Structure 1
Amino acid sequence: MPEGDTVYLAGKRLHAALAGHTLLRGELRHPRLAEIDLTGAGVLGVVSVGKHLFTRFDDGRSLHSHFRMDGSWHLYRPGMHWRRPEYEARAVLEVPERVAVGFALHDLELLPTAEEARLVGHLGPDLLDPAWGPAHEAESLRRLAARGRHELGLALLDQRVMAGVGNLYKTEICFLLGLSPWTLVRDTPDLPAVVACARKLLLSNADRPEQTTTGSMRPEEAHWVFERGNRPCRRCRTRIRVADQGAGIYARPAYWCPTCQPGPHP
């Protein structure tokens, strides 16, 4: 599932391409929305909220989309070949000089803009909210502390705590703070540092598609432990371990260095 910065960047690019234009083509190919034609609607803007996107129109409606595991929005020039199969397209929004195509958007809903909170009102503070301030930080800390009996790695993935962290950043936050992902939140020595680290990592990658937590833009050097199971730790050369964290469909692979991240583990 994409991280919050990926969704933020997609929203930023969609906004730049669509805002202020009238749709020349507005097809919704989702089974529930196939009879709706948005052609002629004016696009007010596109905003991200955590991992959710809202395309807002001048008729008081918003198109909500969520990437889940395999969804994405692409931008093309009219007439360009699409990089994903046409049968995967769930939305096609065309304005002069740009075509936005939403692929594999299993969660797609058209709703009144005034009711957007119905879909995102349960989320914790958005780590990439342009208005982020002390109140957002305090609320994130309060929600995190309330998960005292939960494992830190699972709490970081809980969008009701802070919106935007995915498995990549969960893994790297735990490494950078020297904590096992299985450390209980109540045993985490510095919860403000967790919030600060999460926001810092997402902010640092928000305006580019590449994601690095080490500072290197070389793909083979971009991450400390994420997807580096059984390889040597970049700091101490201990073999990086990997194990599932979470239950059932919510299980995600957790990567950690037993030396740099002491504490509970499977």
Structure 2
Amino acid sequence: MPEGDTLFLAAQKVGAVLTGRVVTRFESPLPELKEQGVEGRVVSAVRAQGKHLIIDFDDGRSFLSHLRMQGNWFAREKAALTQRALDKTARDVSWDDEETTLIIETESSVAVLTRGAVAVLATRKKIDQRLASLGPDLLSPDYDQAEALDRLREHPDTTIAEALMLQSIVAGIGNVYKSEILFLEKVSPFLKVDELDDPTLERLLKRARDLMRRNLRPGPRRTTFGTFAGQNCYVYNRSGQHCLKCDTKVGMRRQGNLQRSTYFCPECQNVAL
């Protein structure tokens, strides 16, 4: 599931093959991305902000993408691709292609966005305005925990699990980290923000940032280290299995308007069943 660390790594990957190079192909089945005059422009930067990936061009425009649940970025030097892969990326993109969102090529590299939930080309100013509502980015060097705490306090009646997922409060946390950090800090997902003191909220934010930063490496995401390293997660996607710390069965409930799944240990997190 794409979360802040996923996009940070994707931006590194895409940036490595596109930054500083001239675009030779910019093709999409989406009408709004067709014939936009991107060919001939130079990619000036590739960056991540929360769960978004942004590609900046030298003409003052930017391309904004969001992966949601199913999206993915693929990026390679052409010299590293097989002929079959080269042929696949070189194909014409038909109007009814539901898999491909965008293909960007340079003379020596290619990046492909598949199943992107958001794909917008606009001026950098408009893109940055669209992102302005996001809370502090957990992986940004300028991350401001005091601001994130203040934004949490603006939602006193929201459960902490739902609040951590609000990108307007803090950018980057998704279902996996939400469940894992609450478990590790022994906090019930169903308590309201107003029921938690500042030190607890600060611990949750710090744990989220620390775990994300530890996952900025190749390989599957994990939140377990040391003794429990054989499992990638303590509770996420482990409903009905035994808790790794106390042997109680892990539970799952759905929360919020989107009915997002929250995993927890009733014993470790003091959740009444």
Question: Which residue among 244, 251, 268 is the counterpart of 1:260?
Answer: 268
CA contact (8 A) 2:27 2:33 kept: no
Instruction: Give the distance between the partners of 1:152 and 1:7, measured in 2 at CA.
Output: 24
Instruction: Give the distance between the partners of 2:142 and 2:217, measured in 1 at CA.
Output: 17
The alpha-carbon deviation at position 263 of structure 1 amounts to: 3.8
Does 2:12 match 1:12?
yes
Q: What do the CA deviations read for 1:112-136 (whole angstroms, capped 9, x no partner)?
A: 112222211000000011233xxx1
Instruction: Give the distance between the partners of 1:221 and 1:22, measured in 2 at CA.
Output: 43
The alpha-carbon deviation at position 80 of structure 1 amounts to: 4.8
- Counterpart code for 1:92: I
Give the stretch that moved more between structures: 223-232 or 107-116. Answer: 107-116
The alpha-carbon deviation at position 104 of structure 1 amounts to: 1.1
Partner of 2:248: 238
The alpha-carbon deviation at position 32 of structure 1 amounts to: 2.0
Partner of 2:163: 155
Residue aligned with 1:149, SS: coil
The alpha-carbon deviation at position 208 of structure 1 amounts to: 2.8
CA contact (8 A) 1:182 1:264 kept: no
The alpha-carbon deviation at position 150 of structure 1 amounts to: 0.8
CA contact (8 A) 1:27 1:39 kept: no
Q: Following TM superposition, where does structure 1 have runs of at least 4 consecutive aligned residues deviating by more than 3 angstroms?
A: 76-80, 216-220
CA contact (8 A) 2:266 2:272 kept: no
Partner of 1:49: 49
Instruction: Give the distance between the partners of 1:139 and 1:264, measured in 2 at CA.
Output: 32
CA contact (8 A) 2:102 2:112 kept: yes
Partner of 1:203: 213
Partner of 2:105: 94
- After superposition, the Cα gap between the structure-2 partners of 1:220 and 1:253, relative to the gap in structure 1 and judged at 3 Å, is farther
- After superposition, the Cα gap between the structure-2 partners of 1:64 and 1:227, relative to the gap in structure 1 and judged at 3 Å, is same
**RMSD of the alignment, in Å?**
2.1
Unaligned 5+ segments in structure 1 are none
The alpha-carbon deviation at position 216 of structure 1 amounts to: 6.0
Describe how 1:1-266 pairs up with structure 2 within 5 A: 1-78=1-78, 79-81=83-85, 87=97, 88-132=99-143, 136-189=144-197, 190-215=200-225, 221-247=231-257, 250-263=258-271
Instruction: Give the distance between the partners of 2:45 and 2:128, measured in 1 at CA.
Output: 17
Tell me the TM-score normalised to structure 2 length.
0.88
- Counterpart code for 2:168: R
Instruction: Give the distance between the partners of 1:119 and 1:141, measured in 2 at CA.
Output: 22
Tell me the TM-score normalised to structure 1 length.
0.91
CA contact (8 A) 1:180 1:264 kept: no
Give the stretch that moved more between structures: 89-98 or 122-131. Answer: 89-98
Number of aligned residues: 259
Instruction: Give the distance between the partners of 1:157 and 1:264, measured in 2 at CA.
Output: 22
Percent identity among equivalent residues? 34
Residue aligned with 1:221, SS: coil
- Counterpart code for 1:159: Q
Give the stretch that moved more between structures: 198-207 or 136-145. Answer: 198-207
- After superposition, the Cα gap between the structure-2 partners of 1:46 and 1:241, relative to the gap in structure 1 and judged at 3 Å, is same
Q: What do the CA deviations read for 1:177-234 (whole angstroms, capped 9, x no partner)?
A: 1011111111124111111111111111123342111126998601000000000000
CA contact (8 A) 2:224 2:231 kept: yes
The alpha-carbon deviation at position 24 of structure 1 amounts to: 1.8
The alpha-carbon deviation at position 25 of structure 1 amounts to: 1.4
CA contact (8 A) 1:175 1:256 kept: yes
The alpha-carbon deviation at position 175 of structure 1 amounts to: 0.1
Instruction: Give the distance between the partners of 2:142 and 2:167, measured in 1 at CA.
Output: 18
- Counterpart code for 1:243: R
Instruction: Give the distance between the partners of 2:71 and 2:40, measured in 1 at CA.
Output: 25
Give the stretch that moved more between structures: 6-15 or 112-121. Answer: 112-121
- Counterpart code for 2:38: L
